[in-house]
Structure formats: structure tokens, C-alpha cells
């Protein structure tokens, strides 16, 4: 099949399925087909093509692609066309990957259901009455439904791994600093990383290796060389089941599904042990304090004057005009986090919340580092629950609580992956593995072996075939 035929087939599928699923906010059919034709021409001439040649990539809408609108799922950035592309996009293009379009997301990546997008929710391809997870829900749903070969998401507190788990695909949150954040519209800088999503470990590996590596444009980018994907087995690999990940509030069938996954790893030769990370129960509060604090500062830049939504009219003065623009442009969850972040940073409360959270974060990092002296990877369920129903009424706090197992990897900077682990009540369950710093290679090795030996690769979801 030529690249052009392949890309046509993807757009065909998008046409048939996406009016229902709504994974994409914008498509670049013309650009994608032009690039595919160019690849076919170059292949005919016998030219060597890049590592991603012919792969169709969906890009989360908070990652800048020059000439395509970047809304971050928010009304406040409506009409914003970034004048440059993110480093990850330039690297994908250099390796001959084909950008298909921009994927739906929770507004400013704040959420775990993709329901806070100002442009309407994305549906879970496995069950259209359920959410795909978030905040990279469009990216994961596009991959799961065969509407993209691979996708880019971003993960601030689980936003790649949560939708990967709920949509039964593989999603990797790299080590902090491993992938450049240049061109990623920031939400919480000290926590987030861009990460690849794919139907199997091999495609995730391909995309990860294309985007990883030092970038002088990002001051937090790591200089450590990228480890090439290691082949081999997992015999003798030490896997630590983290007690706290199986704690209070977990769906019993999700728990037993992930325990089954663990036994399968054991059957493949891994040594399974149990361990404890004492500060884990605090991780959720620590995460939300830090993420909201950083968000309140980051989102102060949106005023309607320099880009995006035009400023509101009819306000009395400068400050009132900004307040009006921002109140009309931001959704509820974004406002909530800005207010809360402003609170935890304000005089009189800063020490009690923000500084204390940073101390517990350091303690948590220390405890994880200690666990990695005994184990190669740490394991637990990615999400403690099955994908929630669309529109289910929960309080903001109840909604935050389902991030309990994912936030620690962001707070500590360690890489983490979600691997499909099977179905419960015909809904996907994901298994999370966390690795030591820069050991994405080990996570991908487990994902690859688990995928080929256990065969988690499920058929395309009903209604999407």
C-alpha cells in the first residue's frame, strides 16, 4: 500500500466514525495527503525515508503545529494559529511522520474525562455512553478507533495514561526532561511531559525515539543520551507491586484484573515482590496544590489582547475588561483551578499549602528512589475505576480522586506507562508500570513482551470496525 492510499484509508475511517466519537478538533487532510504523496515519490526514487515514514499522527491541541489552530480545548484560544511548531512536531516531520490533525482535550488539559473541552466531549470508542478518559482523550480515542496510527498527548497528572487505560491502548509518560516541552502550551511546567500513544509498544517506541532527546529551547530538557529500545525478555526482572496502588476505593474487578496481569508477568519470568511507598496517600493533595499553583500563574497570560479571543467590550476599565474576557473565555474547571492556585500561593497560606506540598513531594521522590534500589519497575492499576459514564454527576473533588495512582510519576519525574491488561464488563483496564529515571526502555520492553505473549491487543471496539 502506498503512503497516500494508507492516509486516505485513515481519513475514510475518520469520516465514518468521528462525527460520533469526536476525537478531532481540526483535520489537515490537504497537508497530510501532500506529505504522503511526497513520501511515495521519494520512495520511488529509492530515497531513504525517516523512521516514522507513512505513520499518521494525531496531535493533542495544546501542542503547537505551525499553521494549524491551537485551542487547548478552550474558547479563550479560539482562532489562535501558532507562528511556530513545537520541537516534537519538527522532529516528527523530520522523520517523515504525517500530521493528521489536532485532537480534542479537556480545557487546558485540566480533567480526566475530556468533558471539559469547550468544543464538546469525545466518546469512548469501546462504549459510546462512556468517557475516553483525559485529558488527552481525543488522542487516545483516535488511536483506539483506528483514526490515527499513533498520537501525541501530554501528561501533567496522568493525562496520557488515563485515556490510554480507558481506551485500551499503550500510553507513555516519559521521564521529566526527556522530551522537549518547547511548543507545549503550559499548564503546570514542573509536572508535564509530552508522551506517545499507540496500539502497541512498538509504535509507541517508534514515536518516543523520534521525539526524545535534548533540546536547547527547553531549559529543563535533559542531556542524558536516549537509551535505545532494549530487546530481550523480562526473565529475572524485579517487579514491585505497590500496596498503596491497590488501596481504598479501587474497583474489585479492576484490582483482580491487574493482579492477573501481574501473574502473567511472573509466568514470563519476572520476579514479583510487594512494596510500600508510605507517602503515596498524600500524592493527590500534593499534586493538586502544585498543579493549581502553577496553573494560576501560567494562565495569567490570557487577556485577549495579544492572541486568541478578542477582548470583551463594554467594560469600564483595563482590569474589568480583562476580567470579562477571561470569565467568558475560560470554562468552570479552569476558573476553579486558577482561584485555588491563587489561594495556595497567597500570603498567609503559601507556607501551609504550597511549601508543605513541595516538602512532601521531595519525600515522595526519595521513597520512590529507595524502592527502585530493590525493584526494576513498580506496578499497579493505572486507573482505580472503569471508564465513567458521560455526564455522570460528581463533585470536583470526587473527580480528582480517580487520579490517585497516576500523579506520583509526575511529582517525582519518573517515567510511567499504561498497558492494556484486559476487559472487565467489556470495558478496558490498564496496568501501570513506573520505572527509574530514563528507563523508558524497560517499561517499553515489558509492554512489548506482555503485548505479544499475553496478546492484550484486542480487536477494534464494537461499532468502530
Partner 1 sequence: MDIHQVERLADLSRLSLRPQEAERMRGELSSILSYFATLDKADVSKGPAPRETPHDGVLRDDLVRPSKPEEILEGVPQRKGRYVKAPKVF
Return the residue of 315, 385, 424, 427 that touches partner 1, per CB under 8 A. 315
- Contact between 220 and partner 1 by CB under 8 A: the answer reads yes
User: Using CA atoms, how far apart are residues 221 and 349, in angstroms rounded to an integer?
Assistant: 32
Return the residue of 395, 425, 455, 459 that touches partner 1, per CB under 8 A. 395
- What is the 8-class DSSP label of residue 115? T
- Contact between 208 and partner 1 by CB under 8 A: the answer reads no
CA–centroid distance for 108 within its chain: 12
- Contact between 79 and partner 1 by CB under 8 A: the answer reads yes
- Contact between 359 and partner 1 by CB under 8 A: the answer reads yes
Tell which residue, 157, 389, 174, has the closest CA to residue 286: 157
Instruction: Find the angle CA(459)-CA(63)-CA(113) to the nearest 5 degrees.
Output: 50
Q: 380 phi and psi, to 5 degrees?
A: -175, 180
User: Which ranges constitute the DSSP H helices of 274-355?
Assistant: 283-298, 318-329, 332-345
Least separation in angstroms between residue 93's CB and partner 1 is 18
Return the residue of 51, 238, 243, 336 that touches partner 1, per CB under 8 A. 336
SS3 at position 193: strand
- Contact between 350 and partner 1 by CB under 8 A: the answer reads no
- Contact between 190 and partner 1 by CB under 8 A: the answer reads yes
Pick the piece of the chain touching partner 1 (CB under 8 A) from 165-173, 237-245, 263-271, 312-320. 312-320
User: Using CA atoms, how far apart are residues 186 and 237, in angstroms rounded to an integer?
Assistant: 36
User: Hey, which residues between 127 and 186 contact partner 1 (CB under 8 A)?
Assistant: 176-177
- Contact between 344 and partner 1 by CB under 8 A: the answer reads yes
Return the number of the residue (273 or 281) whose C-beta is nearest partner 1.
281
User: Using CA atoms, how far apart are residues 149 and 135, in angstroms rounded to an integer?
Assistant: 19
SS3 at position 147: coil
Would you please indicate which residues are annotated as catalytic (active-site) residues? 60, 135, 159
User: Using CA atoms, how far apart are residues 82 and 70, in angstroms rounded to an integer?
Assistant: 7
Return the number of the residue (51 or 324) whose C-beta is nearest partner 1.
324
Contact residues toward partner 1 (CB under 8 A) are 79-81, 83-84, 176-177, 190, 216, 219-223, 279, 281-282, 285-286, 288-289, 296, 300, 303-311, 315, 317-324, 326-327, 330, 335-336, 338-340, 342-344, 346, 353, 356-363, 365-366, 395-397, 400, 413
Amino acid at each position: 500500500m502506498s503512503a497516500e492510499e494508507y492516509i486516505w484509508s485513515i481519513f475514510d475511517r475518520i469520516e465514518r466514525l468521528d462525527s460520533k466519537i469526536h476525537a478531532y478538533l481540526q483535520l489537515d487532510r490537504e497537508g497530510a495527503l501532500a506529505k504522503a504523496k511526497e513520501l511515495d515519490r521519494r520512495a520511488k526514487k529509492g530515497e531513504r525515508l525517516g523512521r516514522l515514514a507513512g505513520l499518521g499522527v494525531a496531535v493533542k491541541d495544546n501542542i503547537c503545529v505551525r499553521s494549524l489552530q491551537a485551542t487547548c480545548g478552550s474558547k479563550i484560544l479560539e482562532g489562535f494559529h501558532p507562528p511556530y511548531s513545537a520541537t516534537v512536531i519538527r522532529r516528527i516531520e523530520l522523520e517523515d511522520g504525517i500530521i493528521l490533525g489536532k485532537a480534542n482535550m479537556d480545557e487546558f488539559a485540566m480533567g480526566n474525562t475530556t468533558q471539559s473541552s469547550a468544543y464538546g466531549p469525545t466518546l469512548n470508542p469501546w462504549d459510546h455512553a462512556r468517557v475516553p478518559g483525559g485529558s488527552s482523550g481525543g488522542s487516545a480515542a483516535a488511536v483506539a478507533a483506528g483514526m490515527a496510527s499513533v498520537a501525541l498527548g501530554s501528561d501533567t497528572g496522568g493525562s496520557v495514561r488515563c485515556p490510554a487505560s480507558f481506551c485500551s491502548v499503550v500510553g507513555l509518560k516519559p521521564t521529566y526532561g526527556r522530551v522537549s516541552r518547547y511548543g507545549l502550551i503550559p499548564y503546570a511546567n514542573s509536572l508535564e511531559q509530552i508522551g506517545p500513544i499507540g496500539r502497541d509498544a512498538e509504535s509507541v517506541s517508534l514515536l518516543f525515539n523520534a521525539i526524545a532527546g535534548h533540546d536547547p529551547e527547553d531549559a529543563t530538557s535533559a542531556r542524558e543520551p536516549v537509551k535505545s529500545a532494549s530487546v530481550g525478555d523480562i526473565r529475572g526482572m524485579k517487579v514491585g507491586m505497590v500496596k498503596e496502588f491497590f488501596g481504598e476505593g479501587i474497583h474489585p474487578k479492576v484490582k483482580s484484573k491487574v493482579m492477573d496481569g501481574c501473574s502473567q508477568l511472573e509466568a514470563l519470568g519476572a520476579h514479583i515482590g510487594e512494596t510500600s511507598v508510605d507517602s503515596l496517600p498524600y500524592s493527590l493533595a500534593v499534586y493538586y496544590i502544585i498543579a493549581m499553583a502553577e496553573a494560576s500563574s501560567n494562565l495569567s497570560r490570557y487577556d485577549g489582547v495579544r492572541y486568541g479571543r478578542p477582548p470583551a467590550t463594554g467594560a469600564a476599565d483595563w482590569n474589568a475588561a480583562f476580567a470579562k474576557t477571561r470569565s467568558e473565555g475560560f470554562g468552570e474547571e479552569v476558573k476553579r483551578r486558577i482561584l485555588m492556585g491563587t489561594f495556595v500561593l497567597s500570603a498567609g497560606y503559601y507556607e501551609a499549602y504550597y511549601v508543605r506540598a513541595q516538602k512532601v513531594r521531595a519525600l515522595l521522590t526519595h521513597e520512590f528512589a529507595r524502592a527502585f534500589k530493590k525493584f526494576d519497575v513498580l506496578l499497579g492499576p493505572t486507573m482505580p475505576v472503569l471508564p465513567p459514564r458521560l455526564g455522570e454527576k460528581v463533585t470536583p473533588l470526587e473527580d480528582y480522586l480517580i487520579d490517585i495512582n497516576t500523579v506520583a510519576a509526575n511529582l517525582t519525574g519518573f517515567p510511567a506507562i499504561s498497558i492494556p491488561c484486559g476487559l472487565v464488563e467489556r470495558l478496558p483496564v490498564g496496568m501501570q508500570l513506573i520505572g527509574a529515571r530514563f528507563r523508558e526502555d524497560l517499561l517499553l520492553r515489558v509492554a512489548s513482551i506482555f503485548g505479544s505473549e499475553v496478546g492484550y491487543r484486542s480487536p477494534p471496539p464494537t461499532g468502530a470496525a
